[in-house]
Amino acid sequence: MIKKPMLKLIAAALIATVPMVSAYAQQAQWPDRPIKIIAPFSPGSATDVWARLLAHGLQDRLGQPVIVENKTGAGGQIGTDAVAKAPANGYTLLIGTPVNPIQVKLYQGKLPYDFQKDFAPVALLATLPLVLIVGPNSKSTNMAQLLDEARKKPGAITFGSSGAGSSNQLCAELMGILTQTKLTHVPYRGTPAVYPDIIGGNVTLLFDNVTVAQPQVKSGTVRALVVANPTRLKSLPDVPSSTEVGLPDLVCQSFTSVFVRTGTPPEIVKRLNAEINGVLADKQLRERMEGEGAELYSGGPEVLGRFFNGEVERWSKVIEKANVKVD
């Protein structure tokens, strides 16, 4: 006969194993309900486009609805915070963008989350180089002419951006540091608002991601002087690379990625990564996005982890040197 103290110990041990069994069961069944992708920018944005492409592919592969939810505001912080507060169970994904590594330094200690501690990398989807564009009637037809004017008239060259602390602001700041020229920042609420002033000659230049800039360049609405990339792009073969114009360190890129809450079971992160890589392997998707200037990636979560940490380090230096501030 088993004595009462022993029975109590056995019962306690059985109770203690229930959460473990439940957790393993949940992981084994994942996904057993809809998955949500948080796009922290507005419908129609590059972030939103990628979120919907990914949702479509994942839905087919996982056999569960994948819903895109646009949670906008505060430069992506509202959507990011929503994922930081969601359960770490693989059912809420974040589309990561260039603002995330920039904000690590720019808003140090001021955000409701610590991105590098609260989020786990899943997959790097693509990078999109930025292109320096000027108006069709600009006196500068190449980088040498633009920089010559900037040196002759410090502060006279203006550059637009989608707002303080944006990737296009920091790319222009980086160019100023590398060329030792003084440029004047003119912030806007999003890059679409900059284009009329670029075309009209009210603002000198803009760095914009290739997906957005390319149609405008090909139509002749604006002129591209350089791609902030070590090599030329197949989609813009006539535009010189930053290396060709003597600025090999002028490398600026937008990127799209997927993160989940830290604490998400590793088995779920691994499965998500594999399924996302499967989506990116689709021939039609690759042809479409590469035709728009994107470079698609594949690889494990560690690829995104290394890339993200490198972006944090690189842009932190630019923020310090250019003394970039936000209100």
Tokens of 221: 């609405």
Q: CA 323 to CA 16: how far, in whole Å? A: 54
Tell me the whole-structure pTM to 2 decimals: 0.86
CATH code: domain 34-128+254-322 is 3.40.190.150
Which structure tokens are listed for 317?
């230096």
CA 58 to chain centre: 19
Q: How does pLDDT run across 84-112, given as a tens digit for each residue?
A: 999 999 999 999 999 999 999 999 989 99
Fold of the 129-227 domain: D-Maltodextrin-Binding Protein; domain 2 (3.40.190)
What is the model's pLDDT at position 190? 80
More confident residue, 14 or 100: 100
- Do 34-128+254-322 and 129-227 show the same overall fold? yes
The pLDDT tens digits for 198-247 are 999 999 999 999 988 999 999 999 999 999 999 999 999 999 999 999 99
Place 2 in a pLDDT band, splitting at 50, 70 and 90.
Answer: low
Strands 184-187 and 158-161: parallel
Coil, helix or strand for 299? Answer: coil
Q: Is 237 helix (H, G, I), strand (E, B) or coil?
A: coil
What is residue 20's predicted lDDT score, i.e. its pLDDT? Answer: 47
The reported pLDDT for the residue numbered 15 is 60
Of 19 and 126, the one with more pLDDT: 126
pLDDT on residue 171: 97
State the pLDDT at residue 43: 86
Does the structure show a pLDDT above 90 at 162? no
Confirm if 48 and 39 have CB atoms less than 8 A apart.
yes
Is the CB of residue 201 less than 8 Å from the CB of residue 175? no
Q: How does DSSP assign 193-218, residue by residue?
A: GTHHHHHHTSS-EEEEEHHHHHHHHH
Question: At 55, which helix (H) or strand (E)?
Answer: helix 46-62
Q: How far apart are CA 279 and CA 266, in angstroms?
A: 20
b (16+ CB within 10 A) / e for 273-284: bebbbebbebee
Degrees, nearest 5: CA angle 144-148-150: 120
List the chain domain ranges: 34-128+254-322, 129-227
Query: Residue 222 is which amino acid?
Result: V
